[in-house]
Structure 1
Amino acid sequence: MTLTDKTGAPVTVTKKSDRFTVGVDGAEAGYAEYVERDGRRVFFHTVVDDEYQGRGLATLLIGEALSATRDEGVRVVAVCSMVASYVDKHPEFADVTDEATPEFRESLPD
């Protein structure tokens, strides 16, 4: 499936060792950072550069990151408010999402 943003521009989502990135026209436009803890992928920070705001990139990025995580058989912990909001609006991820407990929050990088 080809991803496109609200302007019709092609979008790529790439998994790296500590984040998923979203790219538009060959430029990195944002990312969702995570750490692996206790067999879970803890998403703790998501950002899309100001010049790309309003194009639906965060939604595409988070949706693809969560789908890839589920496909890998890894559970999700949504510490990031953007990821938590996405999970709340997309119940198809409820079965792979665990609560963001204080222990998970305290274990995150600064």
Structure 2
Amino acid sequence: MAASVRDNKDRSRFELDVGNDIAFANYRLTPTAVIITHTETPRALRGRGIGSELVKGALDLIRRDGRKVIAGCGFVVDYLDRHPEDADLVA
């Protein structure tokens, strides 16, 4: 469907390209965790699972870096509630 999620460190956000659009999740870093503060999927792309794909990819990157996640956004809270397999990442 889309390219891989990437960490745009300069903009402090995870990004997912979908066609000519970008879904993104803003974050702030702590010494041990990543606080995802906001997710945004372009209106035309909503309802297609792209937000979930974005969060899953972000969590994979966070796991790879050995950090935890703090859900500072309702979408991420809901995602983590629906995906208990990622509970080990929650700070």
Normalising to structure 1: TM-score of the pair? 0.75
Corresponding position: 1:24 with 2:52: no
Residue 13 of structure 1 aligns to which amino acid in structure 2? Answer: V
Shift of 1:20: 0.5
- Is 2:82 aligned against 1:89? yes
Pair member with larger Rg: 1
- Work out whether 1:13 is the aligned partner of 2:19: no
Deviation at 1:22, TM superposition (A): 1.2
| Change over 3 Å in CA distance of 1:42–1:19 after alignment to 2 | same
Cα deviation, 1:57-87, whole Å, max 9, x if unaligned, reads: 1010000101110111011101111111111
The answer on whether the counterparts of 1:12 and 1:24 sit within 8 Å (CA) in structure 2 is no
What letter matches 2:15 in structure 1? T
**3-state SS of the aligned residue for 1:59?**
helix
Separation of aligned partners in 2, 1:28 and 1:70 = 26
Total equivalences in the alignment: 89
RMSD over aligned CA atoms reads: 1.2
**How much identity, in percent, do the aligned residues show?**
30
Who is 1:77 aligned against?
70
- Unaligned runs of at least 5 residues, structure 1: 5-9, 99-110
Which residue of the partner structure matches residue 34 of structure 2?
Answer: 41
Give the Cα separation in 2 of the matches to 1:12 and 1:23. Answer: 8
| Greater helix content | 2
Contact 2:4 2:16 in 1 (8 A): yes
